Amino acid sequence: MLNTDEIRKEFPILGQKVHGKPLVYLDNAATTQKPQCVIDAISEVYCTINANVHRGVHHLSQVATEAMEQARTKVKEFIGAANRHEIIFTRGTTESINLVASSFGGTFLKSGDEVIISSVEHHSNIVPWQLLRDRIGISLRIIPLTADCRLDIEAYKGLFSERTKLVSVAHVSNVLGITNPVKEIIDIAHSHGVPVLVDGAQSTPHIKVNMQELDADFFAFSGHKVYAPTGIGVLYGKEKWLDAMQPYHGGGEMIKSVHFEKTTFNELPYKFEAGTPDYTGIIALGKALEWVESKGIENIAAHEHELTRYAVEQLRGIEGMRIFGEPDGAAVSFLVGDIHPADLGTILDHLGIAVRTGHHCAQPLMELLGIPGTVRASFAAYNTKEEVDTLIKGIERAVKMFA
């Protein structure tokens, strides 16, 4: 069980008022708020150990390097990876997926090859593959949806061909809050000898993930959705793929030796970490993951599932309510009558309630559902049932205003 009263005290931002009302922050799928220990970790770096990493023989550089590499070990443990050098720091999920599209695509894909993605993908797991399609002539196959907004696994099995080279799917839909059966998806792909990239942006904050159990070939997530700062993220990749892939960015740190005629590349993970890394963000990410572990990810998950279940139950009582799919995670998407999602979002904002409205960077899914967008409420460790009640009252008020 989580003690939300105590947890809330750790998040300075949550104490404020918005438009004169206590802030009810239900936009956690977009980004989570940060606990004081993460905020402190950032200022501590600049106050005590700031120096560029890896290159210096001097004390500060060595301490900063050690702190950054400890954070890599923390990430490795947090996601159950086999090796530290399989953890690559990026700017976030988007950059991690672009890295795979560019480096895996550049190394292994050629014209006529196929990549399978799904109907529920975020734009960041669609557009990188389209860019690759336009660059080298691959094609995309899309896993369709069943009537209840789940991935159609029978149809997925039929998408494989001799030319299938990669499957890239979201672990949890950022719109529907539905967990996809990624273990099954991975096992099916592997039975065809095809590797799988899992977009873990919406699962890592809510589900205990384990790379070795999942057997994912690549796994991407963003720090800012798991209580860490913005601008830092992770790509996990199996050594056998990362070793064989061409580098992504060129520059300092990713090289062994550079001559005008020829350059040789550094070992993993540095081959994929060109330039000065965001070591401050990395150290703070390590702190955020420690914070999650101190509360217990299973406890956080149970708390969020209960909030989602409660929210769905309460929402269903509102006339004209339309919930998309049956969420099992920490987010729920809905529409009420013919109220435009942006109008509902604006009214809720005036009541101090922060929800996300629009297409949620998943326009193809909106097209499939035949809607312009939804209102999405998404939960984190610090949210409460009282906040769900405030949301429900806010929606009821909006419904009356539009009646």
Cβ proximity to ligand PLP, 339 vs 381, nearer residue: 381
Active site residue 361: yes
Spell out, one character per residue from 125 to 164, where the chain touches ligand PLP: x when CB under 6 A holds, - when not: x---------------------------------------
**Total residues interacting with ligand PLP, rule: CB under 6 A:** 12
Strand 17-18 and strand 21-22: the pairing is antiparallel
Cβ proximity to ligand PLP, 229 vs 394, nearer residue: 229
Interacting residue with ligand PLP among 124, 168, 308, 333 (CB under 6 A): 124
Active-site residue identified among 37, 47, 149, 361: 361
- 202 binds ligand PLP, rule: CB under 6 A: yes
- 94 binds ligand PLP, rule: CB under 6 A: yes
Residues 181-200 that bind ligand PLP (CB under 6 A): 199
Cβ proximity to ligand PLP, 235 vs 388, nearer residue: 235
- 174 binds ligand PLP, rule: CB under 6 A: yes
CB of 202 to ligand PLP, least distance (A): 5
Q: Show the 3-state SS of the chain.
A: CCCHHHHHHCCHHHHCEECCEECEECECCCCCCCCHHHHHHHHHHHHHHCCCCCCCCCHHHHHHHHHHHHHHHHHHHHCCCCCHHHEEEECCHHHHHHHHHHHHHHHHCCCCCEEEEECCCCHHHCHHHHHHHHHHCCEEEEECECCCCCECHHHHHCCCCCCEEEEEEECECCCCCCECCHHHHHHHHHHCCCCEEEECCCCCCCCCCCHHHHCCCEEEEEHHHHCCCCCCEEEEECHHHHHHCCCCCCCCCCEEEECCCCEEECCCCHHHCCCCCCHHHHHHHHHHHHHHHHHCHHHHHHHHHHHHHHHHHHHHCCCCEEECCCCCCCEEEEEECCCCHHHHHHHHHHCCEECEEECCCCHHHHHHHCCCCEEEEECCCCCCHHHHHHHHHHHHHHHHHHC
CB of 58 to ligand PLP, least distance (A): 34
- 116 binds ligand PLP, rule: CB under 6 A: no
Cβ proximity to ligand PLP, 93 vs 357, nearer residue: 93
Cβ proximity to ligand PLP, 341 vs 394, nearer residue: 341
Spell out, one character per residue from 210 to 239, where the chain touches ligand PLP: x when CB under 6 A holds, - when not: ------------x-----------------
CB of 8 to ligand PLP, least distance (A): 24
For 87, 105, 131, 242, 266, the CA distances from 246, given in Å and listed in that order, are 16, 9, 18, 8, 11
Interacting residue with ligand PLP among 122, 141, 271, 376 (CB under 6 A): 122
- 201 binds ligand PLP, rule: CB under 6 A: yes
Residue 394 corresponds to which tokens in the numbers above? 């806010």
The piece of 90-98, 252-260, 261-269, 340-348 that touches ligand PLP (CB under 6 A) is: 90-98
- 394 binds ligand PLP, rule: CB under 6 A: no
Cβ proximity to ligand PLP, 21 vs 249, nearer residue: 249
Interacting residue with ligand PLP among 115, 170, 188, 348 (CB under 6 A): 170
The piece of 45-53, 117-125, 145-153, 368-376 that touches ligand PLP (CB under 6 A) is: 117-125
Cβ proximity to ligand PLP, 199 vs 387, nearer residue: 199
Torsions phi, psi for 197 (to 5 deg): -105, 125
CB of 378 to ligand PLP, least distance (A): 10
What's the CA gap between 103 and 87, in Å, rounded? 16
Residues that bind ligand PLP (CB under 6 A): 92-94, 122, 124-125, 170, 174, 199, 201-202, 222
Question: Which positions are annotated as active-site residues?
Answer: 361
